[in-house]
Amino acid sequence: MSTWRTEDIPDQSGRTAVVTGANSGLGLATTRELARRGARVIMACRSTDKGESAASDIRRQAPEAKLDVRSLDLGSLESIQAFANDLDLEAGRLDLLINNAGIMMTPQQTTHDGFELQLGTNHLGHFALTGLLLDTVQSAEAGRVVTLSSIEHKSGHIEFGDLQSEDGYAPRKAYRQSKLANAIFGVELDRRLRAAGSSTISVLAHPGYSDTNLQTTGPTGPMKAILKVGNKLLAQDADTGALPTLYAATAPGVEGGDFYGPDGFKEMRGNPTHVDVIPEARDPGVASRLWDISEELTGIRYPLASTTA
């Protein structure tokens, strides 16, 4: 596709969006541009103090921005349920859910509910959130769910025999699994929405190699040092990295199951373009198995039937 920039975002007036991890990096850039184009953006942040500070920064650039900061910890099913219960949707619908928040290559830890931290936050948290909000997204005329994966998913594999990475934890391996899980979820959600005849679509995006706080707050030791250098030499800025997300969320012609990322070398940087997931992410058998496990672990049951026999 030709060069696409924030100026190409269609008018978002009257639309309501939820962006997770909206106070920094890609989430902040996404929130700012949606608000500039007229959307009401609900900023779902683990720290509401940081969220309010980010909202103030956006308002300085876009005084008419309609922003609402809400507390959301994707590592806590209780927090996710509370966020969904307290969500105030003026029109009774949610036009756009952007599953953006994530953590990367952290030391071995668990969430409040005992899940491996990266799988629990990146995948299971967003799986639960989407399930709880799906009815409101389907109430919109053309609702979209955009889930962020990563180029790292290409080297990932779902270890069903050790899904919680308890047998020899490796930070990057666990991260890759979690981002592959995001990709599988995005594809399978759209598959089930199509089978149900829904007008809502599920779309995937990834930011390439973008300079955000993921590389500085998650990794430790040599990997942290390597990524610090890589950010300076190779990474694009967060504003550019957010373009595939914004394209997936707003551009006309986007279809369910599409995946957007940068068009440059190895999808590391560049303009948004259509890319693809690895075959494992489109395997219905793998998707159905991961979906069932995710429902069991989170306790969130989707009103969407499996499409596998």
Q: Beta strand 201-205 with 259-262: parallel, antiparallel or unpaired?
A: parallel
Any idea what DSSP says for residue 123?
A: I
d(CA 168, CA 108): 10
Backbone φ, ψ for residue 262 (5° rounding): -70, 155
d(CA 204, CA 244): 9
Backbone φ, ψ for residue 166 (5° rounding): -85, -20
Any idea what DSSP says for residue 116?
A: B
Annotated catalytic residue: which of 175, 209, 247, 260?
175
| Nearest CA among 203, 229, 205, 204 for reference residue 215 | 229
- In whole angstroms, how far apart are CA 52 and each of 40, 48, 61, 301? 15, 6, 15, 32
Residue 178 CA to its chain's centroid (Å): 11
Catalytic annotation present for 175: yes
- In whole angstroms, how far apart are CA 101 and each of 104, 196, 255, 256? 10, 28, 23, 21
Q: What angle do CA 272, 277, 278 make, to 5 degrees?
A: 145
| Nearest CA among 125, 100, 146 for reference residue 256 | 146
Please, which residues bridge with residue 210 across strands?
236
CB of 146 closer than 8 Å to CB of 185: no
d(CA 191, CA 213): 33
Catalytic residues: 175
